[in-house]
Structure 1
Amino acid sequence: MPLDGSELVEVQKEGQKLLVQLRSFSNRIFKVVTDASASRKAKSSDAGARIVMTSDSACQVVIPADVDGSGFDDGASFEVEQGGAGQVTIVPADGVTINTAETLMTAKRYATLYLVRESANQWHCCGYQQAAG
């Protein structure tokens, strides 16, 4: 029976179980989105993408609340890379929680953060992050 990409795969990261849609693994290497703006609002079409923020000034990617019609499914994931000199900060909208071991900021140029939607308004972020103080 062929797989269609809608299957959920359980991934373990530091003892936590995450459900990630199989298509997220296969699509993410094929879809690269470049953004030079100071602020980007994540949208469901970003699922499976690598978003490269190329600003030379500090910039942000906003994770919208479900009430804003974000359209992300549980297990949806995407990457955010600091492609320019400007540090990238992941900003949760009101009502959104992003669990992380460090900060929600890239460590330096070419650092990549990986975001996974765990459930309604609940996200997980890991990657090459600026260390928490």
Structure 2
Amino acid sequence: MSLLKKFALVFIFFLLVPIVQSIPICTHETDGGNEPKIPGSISIFETTLKDDCRDSKTLNEYYCLSDRASVIETYDCTEVCNSRHAICVLNKRDEGYCYCSILPLNLINVLTSPVFVVIVFGMITVMVYATFVLIRERMFVSRS
């Protein structure tokens, strides 16, 4: 083999080495694949990449292919859920996922707000008290 051919082979080899080394290889996945409604993460050797929210409606989903290559795909949660009542949220481990709600999100915020809970509790208390007063008055009227 001529010196020029050897040089060409070595040159091509060194050109390809960085490409091969830069392909991220998945070593572990927690959510079972391309599942935007399930929070999860992938491991690439010592590095962990968590599914994350780019904004309140957009999810970056990391998953592994069968050949252990890693992929990132971006989802619009309103399309994933087929509903305008969808939002990208983080779980306790800061892993993102698309949350699909059957109620409008602003209604959920109202129903779970502390002020709403106090008002409802107060109304229930007044209704229970009024019921006891009516029962007591009927008992008093029936005795006389």
**Category of TM-score, reference length = shorter chain:** under 0.3
Q: TM-score, normalised by structure 1?
A: 0.20
Q: Name the TM-score, length of structure 2 as normaliser.
A: 0.19
Larger relative CO (CA 8 A, sep 6+): 1 or 2?
1
- Structure with greater helix share of residues: 2
Is the radius of gyration larger for structure 1 or structure 2? Answer: 2
